[in-house]
Each structure stands twice: as C-alpha cells, then as structure tokens.
Structure 1
C-alpha cells in the first residue's frame, strides 16, 4: 500500500490503518520517504522503504497493490501480477485521466505526435495502467471512473470512501480543531484549500508567480481574522505547497500544507474556502459552510482541465465569490452570525450529497474486507 508523493495520506492510509487494527489481511506500507517509514515503524506498523531489500521483495511478491493515484505509489516497476486497487484521491469534478480533453495533461493520455507518444509511453507509463478495482460512492462516480480509467463498471466497488468512513468507525477522543480554538483564542476555524492549477506544471519553482499573493491581500486578511476571532488553516495542493512559504507568517494564519491530509479535521472546521477543488464533495457530509473563492475564474477555464459537462449545471453548495473584498465581507458576516448558509444552498447540499454519496451507507471497509477475504 502507498500514497502519492510518498505521503502517508488519503484513502489508502485509512484503509491501511483499518487493516492494521482489524487484521483482515497483512498490510504493508511502502514509501520513498524514510521519515514516514520510521514514524510508522515506531507506531508498531509494518512499513518499508521502497528501495530497501524488504521493500523490493514485498513489492515483487504482493498479491495486492492498493494506492491513491498510480502503481508508483507502491512501486511502478514491480506491479505485474498484483491485483491493483485504485482508491483515487478525489471526486470526478474536473476531467481526469483519459477523459482529459485540454490543457497540459492532454498529451499524456492522447499523444498526437511521435515525440508525444514516446514521452507518454516512457515517462507516463504507469498512468496508462488500468486498475482491477476502484471504489465509487455513487452511480455517477462509477460511470465517470469507468471511462476515465478504462475499467469496467462491473469492477467498481460501490461504497463510501475509507478517508470519510474511518472516523465514523474509529472516532477520535480529542478534537484538533477544539485544541486550536483554545490555544489561539478564536471561535471559528476556517480551512482554505484551493485546487492545484494545471498551468503550474509549466516553469520552474524559482520563476513562477504566486497566484495567491496576487489575488489576496494577506495582511488585510490576517487583520480581519484577528478581528473576527477566526483562524485560517492554509492547505495548498502538494504540487504547489512551497507557495505557502510566502504566506504563513501572518497572525491567525497557519500553514498546514505539510500535513499528510486534512481528514482528521474536516468534520470540525466551521468553513471550507475552496475554488474548483473536489474536496468540497467530501465536505458535503460535514457541518461546515462552503464558499467558492474563484479569483481566477477566466484564466483557470482557459489554462486548466475542463470540468465534466454534468458539472456545469450542478447547483452550488455555497456562495461563489470572485473578489477578495467580497470574501472579507463574508468572513465578517460569518464572525457575527456563524450559520449564514442560505436555505437554497442547504437544499443544494442535500441534492449534491445524494448525487455523490448515494452508497455512503455502505461502509468501504466492509466491502474491501470482503474483496480480499474472498480472493
């Protein structure tokens, strides 16, 4: 089992933790980050560095590969013969994999020239390997995953996701959010988790601009947060997490981009601020209000992957904001009146929850336990 960018995160993390406790199957975590391996080992879990002798041995002999993105989460060279279970790390809002029809990733899945075909086969070969099984929490997600990953819908496991099921089965005794509120003397905690912009893959880290500094006056934001007794947790995508280094020094703003994931806190935060990220789909099941701060709407549509056609007519689960000043006003209003979601947005959330979480009542751990027990 493994996760993207050698993290200990997302669906495979929570399935691994379940299997470590339930002992359904011998589960081994593989990572290229020795610190991750050391931390898991200290906790008494079985985990190995990818290129250690044991890491290579188990990658070669494993019956199952369980991952969040691609087989390289475990080992992209030794996966032949293993049953591949892709738990994926998001919901299909933007076009993914073979459904991508524009942007920088188009040539990976639909190479046109000989050069593009060579690059696709040699540098992106693991993206072209279809999984044997995936989990899908609704019929909509099942159909989209099937086309995106070239997998039959008969191999979709209809259930919730491990990342959102875990704390239902294994509730935490203490709340991180409550601790943050007490330690920082605030009454509300906000999570800002914008989507990764595909255009960010162009250019190097030294020369690219920081879109968040261009769109947000963080000094003004910080002052507003202090006044409103609010704390902002900044969570940038792993592909651009370094951009948070320019932001995290302001009062009442904490950079959590280096956290493995945010699923320990999503049930307790008061507001999610996002833009195009499918994280909001997971947040539909929580009590948090949702705001879509889309400061670069036109540029994003031009430069990044398109959304699926169905997404264009979706009801909005929260307020859509394009200007920073309007966002500040929203935060001030929320500080005075915590529950400001409109009746329309509450109704929309109920409709979206049914669309995306049709099978949430079927626990993923039960389904995946049955799969590996019967094989």
Structure 2
C-alpha cells in the first residue's frame, strides 16, 4: 500500500472514529469476540447479562452463522455492518470485547466505555511490553512510514481500554504496563469464562461422542505460534505422528481432544480422521469442559492458569522450545521463577511415554485425592499468583460497575 493510499485511508478512518465520539450513547452494551467467534470472556458476560437482564446486551459479529444461531436462540445479535449493527455500535454506552474494539467495531467506539476482558493471562509479553517478534513493530514503529502504517493498519491496537479485570495484583501490574492504563482502571475479581460455570451449568460435555470404554480424556490445546504467520506448514504434524498416537490412545482407552488456536484452526482440518482423536478446534471455546477432563497438555499458552482451578493434571509439550524462544514473543521475566504446574515434554517419544504412564494410573478417588494433595503446595503458590481475587465474582463486580455508570448518568444535568 503506497503512502498516498495510506494517508487517505488514515484520514477517512480517523474522521469516522472522531465523529463517533459525538453520537449520544444509551445504557446498553455491544459485545464481540476475536475472529467473529462467540467465545471467551465476552460470551459468558453476554449470556449472564441476557439471563439477568442487567442491561441490554447486543452481540456483534461479521459471521452470519454466529448471528443467525444466536438469534434462533432468542438472543439479540446483529451483523457488524448491518443497519442495526452500525446503529447499536454507534450509540451503545459500553463496548465489551476479548482483544480489541474491532471485536465489535473499531471505527465507531469513540465515546463509549471500553471494557477489555482480554483472553488470557500474561505469560508472553503483551501489547506495548512486546520486545521482539513480528508484533514488535505494531506497538513500536520507528520510521515515519512505520508509524503511518501502524496508525492505519493497527488503529484498534492503540486504543486503550477504560476498564479491565485483574484476578491478582501480579496480573494487574502486567496488564497496566502492557496496555498503559492506571491501577484505577481495574476491577479485581475473577474472569467471566471461569466464574460462569460456578453459577450456571454447562452442556458442552454432552456434545462429545467419546469412544466406548474411554477411561481418560486428554485435552491438547497448544498456543498460537506467531512466528508461523506467513507459512502454510503444519508444525503439529511435524511434531506428532498422529497415526501412531491414535493407535496408542485406542490401546489405552484414552481420548484426545484437539484444540488449536483460532489463528491456526485451518491446521486442524487434516487431523480429524484418526480414531480416539476428536477435533474441537471449531467449538466456540472449551471452558465448559475443563472441569471434566483428566489431563491438559499445552505449551506456552496461559490456558493452564485457568485449569489450575480444576482437578485435571497438567503437562507441557514444548517440541519447538528453542525456536519459540528465539522467534516468538518473549515471556515476562517472572515466568522463569514460577513453580512448574506440570512436567515438560520435548519429543514425541516423551509424549508417548508420559501418556502411557498416565494411562496406568488408577482413577479411583483415593489416588486422585493423594495426587491433588502432593501437588497442592505448587498449585497453591500458582493460585496465589494468578487467582488472588478469585472469590470476587466477575459478574457481581461488572454488574455493579455498569449500574454505577447508569446512576452517574441520571445525576448529570440535562
């Protein structure tokens, strides 16, 4: 894109964004999710607000199937650039999202209260803290052309939220640095995606058609590798012999649920053919089944932090550790000092051996309680690091926040 086109696009988008700050905004929320999915924290807050009628909650997406599905369920949802989608985005008091305002509409958000619920815990450097990798220039452009490019292509990444959630002081400190916001812009409480199933029942487990005689259910949920943005190579088939893994799982009466990151969802398509391996990549999310699984295998993903709240064991399959550390975003320094939540596995053979050992464990209640007791000290330390304010329900805190905003608005002179 040449400089003239960049400047024209910049002028138009900034004009629209500025003008959106002058539209009157009413007490309602427009909500959305990355990749136009119906998932993560904003999904669960949306469902809560729909059920409790705390305020009018409206889902915005560019995915016709998502919008149609929600409308069929009696929930209010509109396409992003439909007449009603634009109207509500331009007139809603609250924007609620999991990544950036573009989850809803990045050009109509000025003047709204922006509530960023985020989609993970800060293990890898985020936003303005990023110091290497392909995302560095998004937040730290150097030349004039890079700065113009960032303003045009990464407008929403530079719009700061008005409010975020922090389940611990450590998370608050990191979010504050990464998003460049103050301590006063946080609610210290849990996250909607995990608090939801403490208040409402999940039906997600019923979607699974597990093989007969399944004794153990394993969730494999690796992180997104941003160093593979421009390659079609399937790094997972290079690291794992899925045919051999399938045979092993069948012998052990284990079932593996495969959940790739939304940015790598296309890589999961060819992995849906193997017995005892179920591809759940295209589910909205997997928070409704975390309390049911026996083992979580991940890598650099912060999903394991959510899993700390449940009884499953945790392992880390780090097949590309050296490459990841060199080419992808760096981790925050504190991560190296954290106690390990589970064993590190480097090679496919390591993974096979571990799964065989795990299959041999007796699944009676006494043994599970003993395992939980032995690892309790580590989990308690991690829980204190990441879930210090877990007892404060996200829904109660957010309900109070929006209700206070409504009271403030009614007190303002007309």
- TM-score band (shorter)? over 0.9
Higher mean Cα deviation, 229-238 or 342-351? 342-351
Write out aligned runs for 1:24-173 (5 A). 24-172=54-202
Per-residue deviation, 1:185: 2.7
Partner of 1:246, secondary structure, is helix
**Mapped partners of 1:306, 1:312: distance in 2:** 11
Q: Residue deviations 1:269-294, cap 9 Å, x none?
A: 11000011000000000111000010
Query: How much has 1:347 moved relative to structure 2?
Result: 2.2
TM-score by length of 1: 0.95
Mark the runs of 5 or more structure 2 residues left unpaired by the alignment: 1-30, 406-414
CA distance in 2, matches of 1:71, 1:260: 19
- Partner of 2:278, secondary structure, is strand
Q: 1:298 aligns with which of 299, 308, 322?
A: 322
Q: In the comparison of the two structures, how many residue pairs are matched?
A: 369
Aligned with 1:28: secondary structure? strand
1:278 pairs, out of 279, 296, 302, with 302
Query: For 1:15 and 1:43, how far apart are their aligned partners in 2?
Result: 16
- Give 1:202 shift: 2.4
1:4 and 1:265 map into 2 onto residues whose CA distance is 21
SS, match of residue 63 in structure 1: strand
Distance of 1:120 and 1:163 partners within structure 2: 31
* Partner residue in 1 for 2:411: none
Distance in structure 2 (CA, Å) of the matches to 1:332 and 1:241: 28
Provide Cα deviations, 1:4-32, integer angstroms capped at 9, x if missing partner.
Answer: 01000000000000000100111000000
Partners of 2:398 and 2:110 in 1: how far apart?
Answer: 21
For 1:245 and 1:56, the matched residues in 2 are separated by: 34
Q: In structure 2, how many angstroms separate the alpha carbons of the residues matched to 1:242 and 1:178? A: 21
Helix, strand or coil at the partner of 2:282: coil
Superposition map of 1:1-375 within 5 A: 1-172=31-202, 176=205, 180-181=209-210, 183-203=211-231, 208-337=232-361, 338=363, 339=368, 345-375=375-405
Contact 1:294/1:320, CA 8 A, preserved across alignment? yes
Query: Does the Cα contact within 8 Å between 2:311 and 2:372 map onto a contact in 1?
Result: no
Partner Cα distance (2:218, 2:206) in 1: 10
Whether the aligned pair in 2 keeps the contact of 1:284 and 1:349 (CA below 8 Å) is yes
Cα distance in 1 for partners of 2:65, 2:252 equals 38
Tell me the distance in 2 between the aligned counterparts of 1:341 and 1:222: 27
Q: Could you state the TM-score of these two structures normalised by the residue count of structure 2?
A: 0.87
SS of equivalent residue, structure 1 residue 119: helix
Tell me how far apart the structure 2 counterparts of residues 343 and 368 of structure 1 sit (CA, whole Å): 34
Superposed CA deviations along residues 243-273 of structure 1, whole A, max 9, x for unmatched, are 1122221111011111110011111111000
Question: For 1:75 and 1:6, how far apart are their aligned partners in 2?
Answer: 11
CA distance in 2, matches of 1:282, 1:129: 27
Q: Structure 2 CA distance, aligned partners of 1:29 and 1:178?
A: 23
Asked which structure has the greater CA Rg, the reply is 2
Are the aligned partners of 1:234 and 1:257 in contact in 2 as well (CA < 8 Å)? Answer: yes
**Shift of residue 127 of structure 1?**
0.2
In 1, Cα distance between the equivalents of 2:261 and 2:207?
24
| Secondary structure class of the residue paired with 1:372 | helix
Partner SS state of residue 27, structure 1: strand
| Structure 1: gaps (5+ residues) | none
